[in-house]
């Protein structure tokens, strides 16, 4: 899809990957960008910066776990510029722990990491299918293709996000819907402990600082790096977006020799938590 002249909504747009996506879509010629985030003030600041740079943008508070908020974000875009062409369901959270995590936290991460993607599809699918054209971008994670050491809720919900994206692609591609699923590994955002200014920091220095981390072994990316990969993928209409291409190799290993892959992941877990011999 050619992004020029398109109307875009990005959730989780106040920082990290979402902020970078808003900037990248605007710079690629989007007619308008709705920056949606539970941090309404942060969303407004991002939108104001885009407007100051000569783009058209609106910031709106949006709790993606509340369906009415997602509907409102779509309505904001439609009232300003017309039908939404591209919806980036990008917002996400992480909850550490395993099956012992309280139900309230399971419900919270399910609402943000999974249910929000369902709400996004509900909000835009009817109009997109009626027009015979539309684009959904679901931010999942490499954890949705592999797993997440130390967080069962994150692994489970990101697998679900990938599954939904696949289902939507299979079900509606012939009706004109294009779906992409973004699955990065480590990215410097608030979720990974990066300082706020890391959006524009030097990636090499950050890699050196956190070279011992598991996420860092394949290279921590900046949000802008991820956004550039997304823009390229939208142009090619690729389903699976892998800013870390090595993830494809890991997925092949997992599929072709699951027992070996599980043994390898147990070793990584032991190294991360300091239980390795």
Kindly report, residue by residue over 129-138, the tens digit of the pLDDT. 999 999 999 9
Task: Count CB atoms within 10 A of the CB of residue 87.
Answer: 29
Active site residues: 154
pLDDT above 90 covers what percent of the chain?
83
pLDDT digits (tens, 9 = 90+) for 122-162: 999 999 999 999 999 999 999 999 999 999 999 999 999 99
> What is residue 273's predicted lDDT score, i.e. its pLDDT?
83
- Domain of residue 214 covers 7-244
Task: Please check whether residue 1 lies inside any domain of the structure.
Answer: no
For residues 265 and 186, membership in a common domain is answered with no
The reported pTM is 0.90
pLDDT digits (tens, 9 = 90+) for 161-213: 999 999 999 999 999 999 999 999 988 676 665 555 444 444 444 344 344 34
Three-state DSSP class for 186? coil
For residues 189 and 67, membership in a common domain is answered with yes
Distance CA 272, CA 11 (A): 31
Task: Please check whether residue 77 lies inside any domain of the structure.
Answer: yes
Q: Tell whether the model's pLDDT for residue 95 goes beyond 60.
A: yes
Distance CA 40, CA 35 (A): 9
Torsion of CA 66, 71, 75, 76, to 10 degrees: 20
Into how many domains does the chain fold?
A: 2
Q: What is the largest CA-CA distance in the chain?
A: 61
> What is residue 193's predicted lDDT score, i.e. its pLDDT?
57
For residues 16 and 137, membership in a common domain is answered with yes
For residues 35 and 154, membership in a common domain is answered with yes
């Amino acid at each position: 899809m050619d992004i020029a002249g398109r109307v875009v909504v990005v959730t989780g747009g106040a920082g990290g990957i979402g902020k970078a996506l808003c900037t990248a879509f605007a710079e690629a010629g989007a007619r308008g960008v709705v920056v949606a985030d539970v941090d309404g003030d942060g969303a407004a600041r991002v939108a104001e910066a885009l407007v100051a740079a000569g783009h058209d943008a609106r910031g709106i508070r949006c709790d993606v776990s509340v369906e009415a908020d997602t509907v409102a974000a779509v309505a904001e875009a439609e009232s300003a510029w017309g039908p939404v062409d591209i919806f980036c369901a990008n917002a996400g959270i992480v909850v550490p722990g395993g099956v012992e995590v309280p139900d309230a936290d399971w419900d919270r991460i399910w609402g943000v990491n999974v249910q929000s993607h369902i709400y996004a599809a509900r909000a835009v699918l009817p109009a997109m299918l009626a027009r015979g054209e539309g684009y959904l971008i679901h931010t999942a994670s490499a954890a949705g293709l592999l797993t997440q050491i130390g967080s069962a809720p994150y692994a489970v919900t990101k697998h679900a996000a990938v599954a939904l994206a696949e289902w939507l692609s299979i079900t509606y591609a012939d009706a004109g819907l294009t779906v992409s699923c973004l699955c990065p590994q480590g990215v410097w955002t608030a979720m990974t402990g990066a300082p706020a200014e890391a959006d524009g920091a030097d990636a090499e220095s950050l890699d050196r600082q956190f070279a011992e981390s598991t996420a860092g072994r394949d290279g921590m990316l900046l949000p802008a790096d991820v956004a550039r990969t997304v823009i390229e993928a939208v142009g090619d209409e690729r389903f699976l977006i892998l800013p870390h291409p090595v993830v494809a190799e890991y997925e092949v290993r997992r599929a072709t020799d699951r027992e070996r892959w599980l043994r390898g992941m147990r070793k990584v877990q032991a190294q991360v938590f300091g239980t390795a011999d």
